[in-house]
A and B are shown apart, each in its own frame.
Chain A
Amino acid sequence: DIQMTQSPSTLSASVGDRVTITCRASQSISSWLAWYQQKPGKAPKLLIYKASSLESGVPSRFSGSGSGTEFTLTISSLQPDDFATYYCQQYNSYFTFGPGTKVDIK
Chain B
Amino acid sequence: QLQLQESGPGLVKPSETLSLTCTVSGGSISSSSYYWGWIRQPPGKGLEWIGSMYYSGTTYYNPSLKSRVTISIDTSKNQFSLNLSSVTAADTAVYYCAKGIRFGKLLYHFDYWGQGTLVTVSS
Q: In this assembly, does B77 line the interface, its C-beta being within 8 Å of a C-beta of chain A?
A: no
A43 touches B96 (CB 8 A): yes
Q: Which residues of A contact B113 (CB under 8 A)?
A: 43-45
B49 touches A99 (CB 8 A): no
Task: Describe A's contact surface by its main secondary structure.
Answer: loop
Interface residues on chain A, size class: 20 to 34
Residue with the greatest number of chain A CB neighbours at <10 A, chosen from B48, B96, B113: B113
Q: Interface stretch among B12-20, B23-31, B78-86, B104-112?
A: B104-112
Q: Which residues of B contact A36 (CB under 8 A)?
A: 110
**Measured between alpha carbons, how far is A17 from B89 in the docked complex, in Å?**
41
A96 touches B46 (CB 8 A): no
Residue with the greatest number of chain A CB neighbours at <10 A, chosen from B52, B111, B114: B111
Q: In this assembly, does B2 line the interface, its C-beta being within 8 Å of a C-beta of chain A?
A: no
B63 touches A1 (CB 8 A): yes
Nearest Cβ in chain B — how far from A49, in angstroms? Answer: 4
A55 touches B46 (CB 8 A): no
Q: Which residues of B contact A55 (CB under 8 A)?
A: 111
Residue of B nearest to A85 (CB): B46
Interface residues on chain B, size class: 20 to 34
Q: In this assembly, does B47 line the interface, its C-beta being within 8 Å of a C-beta of chain A?
A: yes
B110 touches A96 (CB 8 A): no
B116 touches A96 (CB 8 A): no
Residue of A nearest to B107 (CB): A91
Q: Beyond A1-B63, A44-B113, A94-B62, is A99–B108 a contact (Cβ under 8 Å)?
A: no
Q: In this assembly, does B115 line the interface, its C-beta being within 8 Å of a C-beta of chain A?
A: yes
Nearest Cβ in chain B — how far from A71, in angstroms? Answer: 13
**Measured between alpha carbons, how far is A43 from B98 in the docked complex, in Å?**
10
Question: Which residue numbers of A lie inside 8 Å of B, CB to CB?
Answer: 1, 32, 34, 36, 42-46, 49-50, 55, 87, 89, 91, 94-100
- Extra contacts, 9 of them, besides A44-B47, A94-B49 (Cβ < 8 A), are A32-B108, A34-B110, A45-B113, A49-B108, A87-B47, A94-B62, A95-B37, A97-B48, A100-B46
